[in-house]
């Protein structure tokens, strides 16, 4: 089924468990008061309760996910909001690992014992598959000389947005932290080299294969 048909028949969404991970990252950076302020703006986004319950069970729509980033930008300014999204992406990774690491095989010994480059490459592949399962998105990993490229079609972070610069900073931070974790603390440059909010067909995250330090 192509994307247009899929859009017509289902509400595009991401798993509540993934969005709780995102929300925990945001909470680490701006605190509970900041989180409340973001959601009290009354923009189209939704706060998941920390415990279960009917509200918790409901997945977040792409509109609600893009709305979170828009709310951060309204509250802290475009640059401030994107800086927070970047740091929240980094901060959310440990929550992601706790929630999905075992299921994805990231915490298992045979993964941890792979040589670094193989661990990074297969870890990115695992992330691509897992994110494709958790959201109505297609994430594809491509390897080019010197870089890994993660292609995200239907990116929820910038869903239906038109901006002057790439805006999917949460995923940049998240990938930076994944790379640091999987390489035992090295720093790899990650940039969003194409963004759907700039008219590209997909958001593309370009990850250096050589650490900077």
Q: Quick one: 86 or 155, whose CB is closer to Zn ion?
A: 155
**Using CB under 5 A as the criterion, what x/- string covers residues 114-153 for binding Zn ion?**
----------------------------------------
CB of 121 to Zn ion, least distance (A): 23
Rounded CA separation 31/14 (Å): 23
CB of 125 to Zn ion, least distance (A): 21
Contacts of residue 37, Cβ cutoff 8 Å, sequence gap at least 6: 30, 75
Q: Of the listed pieces 59-67, 113-121, 125-133, 193-201, which binds Zn ion according to CB under 5 A?
A: 193-201
Which of 203, 205, 206, 207 lies at the binding interface for Zn ion (CB under 5 A)?
Answer: 203
Complex with Zn ion: residue 22 or 168, whichever CB lies closer? 168
Q: ∠ CA 97-99-100 to the nearest 5 degrees? A: 65
- What is the nearest approach in angstroms of Zn ion to the Cβ of residue 107? 29
The stretch among 42-50, 128-136, 175-183, 189-197 that binds Zn ion (CB under 5 A) is: 189-197
Q: Two tokens at 46?
A: 């939704």
Q: Which is nearer to Zn ion, 119 or 159 (CB)?
A: 159
Q: Identify the residue among 66, 158, 175, 179 touching Zn ion (CB under 5 A).
A: 158
Across 156-211, the runs of DSSP E, i.e. the strands, are 190-194, 203-208
Q: How far is CA 75 from each of CA 27, 39, 62, rounded to the nearest angstrom?
A: 15, 10, 20
Distance in Å, CB of 38 to Zn ion, minimum: 20
**60 vs 106, which CB is nearer to Zn ion?**
60
Long-range contacts of 27-35 (CB under 8 A, 24+ apart): 28/88, 28/91, 28/92, 29/84, 29/87, 29/88, 29/91, 30/84, 30/88, 34/75
Give the list of residues 6+ apart from residue 97 with CB closer than 8 angstroms, or none: 106, 107, 181
8 Å CB contact between 147 and 209:
yes
List 139's β-bridge partners, or say none. Answer: 152
Q: How far is the CB of 45 from Zn ion (least distance, A)?
A: 17
65 part of the interface to Zn ion, by CB under 5 A: no
Identify each DSSP E strand in 45-87 by its residue range: 60-61
Binding region for Zn ion (CB under 5 A) out of 23-31, 56-64, 73-81, 156-164: 156-164
Residues that bind Zn ion (CB under 5 A): 155, 158, 168, 195, 203
């Amino acid at each position: 089924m192509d994307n247009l048909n899929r859009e017509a028949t289902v509400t595009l969404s991401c798993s509540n468990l993934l969005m709780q991970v995102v929300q925990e990252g945001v909470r680490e950076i701006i605190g509970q008061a900041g989180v409340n302020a973001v959601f009290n703006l009354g923009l189209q986004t939704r706060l998941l309760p920390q415990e279960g319950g009917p509200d918790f069970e409901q997945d977040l729509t792409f509109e609600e996910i893009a709305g979170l980033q828009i709310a951060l930008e309204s509250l802290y300014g475009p640059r401030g909001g994107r800086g927070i999204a970047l740091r929240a992406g980094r901060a959310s990774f440990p929550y992601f690992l706790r929630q999905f690491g075992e299921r994805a095989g990231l915490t298992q010994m045979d993964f941890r014992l792979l040589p670094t480059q193989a661990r990074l490459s297969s870890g990115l592949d695992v992330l691509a598959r897992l994110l494709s399962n958790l959201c109505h998105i297609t994430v594809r990993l491509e390897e080019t000389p010197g870089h890994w490229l993660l292609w995200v079609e239907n990116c929820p972070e910038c869903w239906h947005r038109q901006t002057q610069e790439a805006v999917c900073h949460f995923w940049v931070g998240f990938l930076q932290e994944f790379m640091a974790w999987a390489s035992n603390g090295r720093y790899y440059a990650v940039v969003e080299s194409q963004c759907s909010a700039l008219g590209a067909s997909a958001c593309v995250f370009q990850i250096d294969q050589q650490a900077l330090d």
